[in-house]
A = this chain, B = another copy of it.
Amino acid sequence: MPTLSLHPDRLLPADPTTRAIARELYAEVAGLPIISPHGHTDPEWFATDAAWTNATELLLAPDHYLFRMLYSQGVDLDALRVPRKGGLVPDTDPRAAWRLFASHWHLFRGTPSSMWLNHVFAEVFGLDVTLDAGSADHYYDVIGEALASPAFRPRALFERFGIELLATTEGAGDDLAHHRAIRASGWQGRVVTTYRPDSVIDPEHDSFARDMARFAELSGEDVTNWTGYLAAHRRRRADFRAMGATATDHGFLTPRTANLSRAECEALFAKVMGGKADAEEAELFRAQMLTEMARMSLEDGMTMQIHPGATRNHNARLFASHGRDKGADIPRGTEYVEALRPMLDLFGNEPDLTVILFTLDETTYARELAPLAGHYPCLRLGPAWWFHDSPEGMRRFREMTTETAGFYNTVGFNDDTRAFLSIPARHDVARRIDCGFLARLVAEHRMADWEAAELAQELTVGLVRKAYGLEAPAREVEPA
């Protein structure tokens, strides 16, 4: 049975000169705390600190990176225990699901999922043989036993992982009860929320009506008129800040912004609320609201994140049976230069505003995003995202943005994950790739070694703290 081991030089460039430089840079940042300012873990885990059950429930069934690949090769989602629409869990034996996954593990060769999961297997669970059909039960048993022990409870792992801060993401209709519970518990782990109001901004969102009702209730505002609706956002942003939020997040198909007059806003809002907005009006409303969110960020200091470019739920049949987030979101070409202009006309020159741009369209790195971020005071570039959060994707991000935007208009790494156990793996990949990139610049005499060492620190902890307005802790968090 082939052994599983994580090579200490993994992901570092093969050239010996460059690798030696990269190794030195990496050694200085490998042990730094993890700062995770953008992600999708479940705050309930840290509120209740309940044990996870088994490998399938924890690692497979919720991970769309994994089941989408198996699905693409003809594997049925029910057989993997992926929940159907409404959360209905198929009646599949979780061990059988795990075996099926294990027998397809070769599909992930060359993908980030294989690096992340192998890291989890080896580092978190101490497994030392590779996953395949033959080792599936061994894996299932080892992982299951570990999860039953106190050392593998969410809070214990949080501490073991050396996490300085972890941001979750909640909608505008969320009561933040889990975050309140975390604070009330006295546990010291810094888990904060992020304001993600998509479902009360996008009239085409499938829970728009339901979430608007909750939004009204939680804010105590009359959200049926434009003034009250904006006031509700301000109120809820304050609620979120009270639970540690320093950022908002916005994920529409396009990054379009608008700058309508007050009268136009009122008329458009009335149409939206009356259910009479057509597709273009819905788009215009989202566009205007991105501008309003920027305005509020300038008022309240929250960092604004824009994540455009995903065609959600592309597979109609799968959406009908299984709902959102089932691996069927597909990127589309994205235009930023004209889309952002109305917002930038208003707030682009404000150095006290921070708007972080992400993309699923790598063609915009060198053509649009780096030139924009290398000019406008309010703009920063988020790290390589989603399909591009991978060794090659990160390398392309640095190669295509650095020469125009520099390193200092970027914001460190986001893991953007709901797979909590993979967070150390993901940050480790980013640190290794960044150190490899810096090492190449040093090896090619484009940068001094001491400059690269400073930058490695910045890319790991400095820039993320600055971009998200995070204080460094009095005492450094250290991995247990």
List residues of A whose CB falls within 8 A of some B CB: 2, 7, 9-18, 68-69, 71-74, 106-112, 114-115, 130, 311, 314-318, 327-333, 335, 337-338, 341, 344-345, 348-349, 351, 360-363, 366-368, 370-377, 379, 387-388, 390-393, 399-400, 402-409, 440-441, 443-448, 450-451, 454-455
Q: A109-B407, A349-B318, A403-B112 are in contact. Are A14 and B17 (CB under 8 A)?
A: yes
Q: Closest 9 interchain pairs by CB?
A: A74-B351, A7-B445, A10-B445, A14-B443, A390-B403, A110-B402, A330-B371, A331-B367, A363-B363
| 14 chain-A/chain-B pairs, Cβ below 8 angstroms | A13-B444, A14-B18, A73-B377, A73-B408, A74-B377, A107-B406, A111-B404, A327-B375, A329-B371, A332-B337, A366-B393, A370-B387, A392-B402, A392-B403
Task: Determine if B399 and A392 form an interchain contact, defined as CB atoms under 8 angstroms apart.
Answer: yes
Find chain B residues with CB under 8 A from A68 CB. Answer: 374-375
Complex: how many Å from CA A440 to CA B391? 12
Task: Determine if B14 and A444 form an interchain contact, defined as CB atoms under 8 angstroms apart.
Answer: yes
Write the nearest CB–CB distance from A344 to chain B, whole angstroms: 7
Complex: how many Å from CA A14 to CA B115? 25
Task: Determine if A447 and B109 form an interchain contact, defined as CB atoms under 8 angstroms apart.
Answer: yes
Complex: how many Å from CA A363 to CA B309? 14
Smallest CB gap from A112: residue in B: B403
Q: A375-B68, A388-B366, A403-B392 are in contact. Are A348 and B445 (CB under 8 A)?
A: no
Task: Determine if B376 and A72 form an interchain contact, defined as CB atoms under 8 angstroms apart.
Answer: yes
Complex: how many Å from CA A96 to CA B346? 30
Find chain B residues with CB under 8 A from A345 CB. Answer: 316-317
Complex: how many Å from CA A338 to CA B372? 28
Complex: how many Å from CA A373 to CA B328? 10
Q: Which of B361, B362, B393, B455 contacts A403 (CB 8 A)?
A: B393
Task: Determine if B370 and A341 form an interchain contact, defined as CB atoms under 8 angstroms apart.
Answer: no
Write the nearest CB–CB distance from A338 to chain B, whole angstroms: 8
Find chain B residues with CB under 8 A from A375 CB. Answer: 68, 71-72, 314-315, 327-328, 330
Write the nearest CB–CB distance from A459 to chain B, whole angstroms: 11
Find chain B residues with CB under 8 A from A374 CB. Answer: 68-69, 72, 327
Complex: how many Å from CA A144 to CA B72? 50
Task: Determine if A12 and B444 form an interchain contact, defined as CB atoms under 8 angstroms apart.
Answer: yes
Write the nearest CB–CB distance from A19 to chain B, whole angstroms: 9
Find chain B residues with CB under 8 A from A407 CB. Answer: 109-110
Q: A332-B337, A444-B14 are in contact. Are A367 and B360 (CB under 8 A)?
A: yes
Find chain B residues with CB under 8 A from A451 CB. Answer: 106, 109
Find chain B residues with CB under 8 A from A314 CB. Answer: 337, 341, 344, 375
Find chain B residues with CB under 8 A from A112 CB. Answer: 403
Q: A363-B363, A444-B13 are in contact. Are A344 and B315 (CB under 8 A)?
A: yes
Complex: how many Å from CA A68 to CA B371? 9
Task: Determine if A110 and B403 form an interchain contact, defined as CB atoms under 8 angstroms apart.
Answer: yes
Task: Determine if A331 and B69 form an interchain contact, defined as CB atoms under 8 angstroms apart.
Answer: no
Write the nearest CB–CB distance from A465 to chain B, whole angstroms: 16
Find chain B residues with CB under 8 A from A402 CB. Answer: 110-111, 392
Task: Determine if B331 and A371 form an interchain contact, defined as CB atoms under 8 angstroms apart.
Answer: yes
Task: Determine if A377 and B7 form an interchain contact, defined as CB atoms under 8 angstroms apart.
Answer: no
Task: Determine if A391 and B446 form an interchain contact, defined as CB atoms under 8 angstroms apart.
Answer: yes
Task: Determine if B10 and A446 form an interchain contact, defined as CB atoms under 8 angstroms apart.
Answer: yes
Task: Determine if B368 and A332 form an interchain contact, defined as CB atoms under 8 angstroms apart.
Answer: yes
Complex: how many Å from CA A444 to CA B17? 14
Task: Determine if B11 and A445 form an interchain contact, defined as CB atoms under 8 angstroms apart.
Answer: yes
Residue in A375, A391, A393 whose Cβ sees the most chain B Cβ within 10 Å: A375
Q: Which of B318, B337, B349, B351 contacts A311 (CB 8 A)?
A: B337
Task: Determine if A349 and B317 form an interchain contact, defined as CB atoms under 8 angstroms apart.
Answer: yes
Find chain B residues with CB under 8 A from A367 CB. Answer: 331-333, 360-363, 387
Find chain B residues with CB under 8 A from A344 CB. Answer: 314-315
Complex: how many Å from CA A69 to CA B401? 13
Task: Determine if A348 and B406 form an interchain contact, defined as CB atoms under 8 angstroms apart.
Answer: no
